[in-house]
Amino acid sequence: MKKKVILGLSGGVDSAVAAIRLLEQGYDVTGVFMRNWDSSINNDVLGNPHVNDDVCPQEKDFIDAQNVAQALNIPFLRIDFVAEYWDHVFSYFLDEYRANRTPNPDILCNKEIKFKAFLIKALELGADYIAMGHYARSLHAPEVKLLRGIDPSKDQSYFLCQLTKEQIGKTLFPIGDMYKKDVREVARKHGLQVAAKKDSTGVCFIGERNFREFLKNYLPAQPGNIETLDGEIVGTHEGTMYYTIGQRKGLKMGGAGEPWFVLGKDVPRNVLLAGRGDKQELLYSDRCIVNKINWLETEKKDRDCTAKFRYRGMDHDVSLHWLDDDTLEVRYPKKGKTVTPGQAAVFYDQEEVLGGGTIDTVYMGEAIRPY
């Protein structure tokens, strides 16, 4: 009897080719489109008032997903997780911005929606596995492991660092051993219109939009000054929460010389700190505290490994030192650039994901960085 797989069919080329590969491998495949954001009303389903924002191209994605299912002759469902997304992802996202931290909602979205709420629903529908079009790989035997995707330019294991072994053990990643160019070629050979569709960007399920203007619907702006480290006022900002460390775009500051970069925040004074050039000492650190750890190894012991502090960031050689069951001190004596509170630190042993957590405090020596 065929194993039943319920696939997250997003309307993009990656999940479409994931469906093709699952069918080729002999699985009984059902495609499911997840609807997690309601852009069509002024008050969301939980009664939280907000200003009507730009309409998300979610409906177009739904139609594309439906067309893929029809072309591949697989059953297709649409399931809403709007309330779950607001409760477990978007509310946290706003809380972190209020605290002047830079969160990564895609990681929480994977943990709470795609691999939790979706998995629960899939099991209720009789699935043996769920599947996603992520560029990552999973091993289920002899032990459960999460691995990087083989395409280094598309690897998405960073965003999966909060998955549990139970979730990984129930998940298939059909395109994790493929390169993007080959994924598009498979879609073209099958005559799928999504073969050339642009990759989605922006916040998970909310889509592409003017992000700062979008945030203003929920978090009122508190303008203030931009200052150099010497206290010279060189510009104004729209609210410190809207900026992240190392940011260059959006400062609206020019003039002769090197570009301006965000170096830090003086939150009590509502001041954004900035400097010219990206070699500023304040952008660098050599250790950080990481909490809310999700650990995939059996033992929690001090060890050396590598870490990513941002999705597109380089791998850093690090030493991990457990402070308690939920907290790591991470040391990287070769220094890291723009390691930022609220972002994820993800730890690797070569191809294997060891776990990950949220960056809480960043240091250079004994000095806390003003992030």
Q: Is 55 exposed, middle or buried (0-12, 13-18, 19+ CB in 10 A)?
A: exposed
Distances, alpha carbon 220 to alpha carbons 38, 97, 216, 217, in Å: 21, 11, 5, 7
Contact at 8 Å (CB) between 109 and 85?
A: yes
Place of tokens 């922006």: 202
Q: Coil, strand or helix: which one is 202? A: coil
Residue 278 and residue 270: Cα distance in Å, rounded?
23
- Catalytic, out of 56, 161, 204, 288: 204
Cis peptide before 142 (omega within 30 of 0): yes
Q: HSE-up of 54 (CA within 13 Å, CB side)?
A: 13
Q: Coil, strand or helix: which one is 92? A: helix
Q: Please, which residues have CB within 8 angstroms of residue 271's CB and are 6 or more apart in sequence? A: 224, 225, 226, 227, 240, 265
Which conformational region is residue 47 in: left (phi greater than 0), alpha (psi within -120 to 50 degrees), or beta? left
Active-site residue flag, 204: yes
Place of tokens 């035997």: 141
- Catalytic, out of 56, 109, 161, 305: 109
Contact at 8 Å (CB) between 231 and 239?
A: no
Residue 145 and residue 345: Cα distance in Å, rounded?
18
Cα distance between the two ends of the chain? 55
Residue 21 and residue 9: Cα distance in Å, rounded?
13
Residue 43 and residue 82: Cα distance in Å, rounded?
12
Active-site residue flag, 109: yes
DSSP state of 177: T
Q: What are the catalytic residues? A: 109, 204
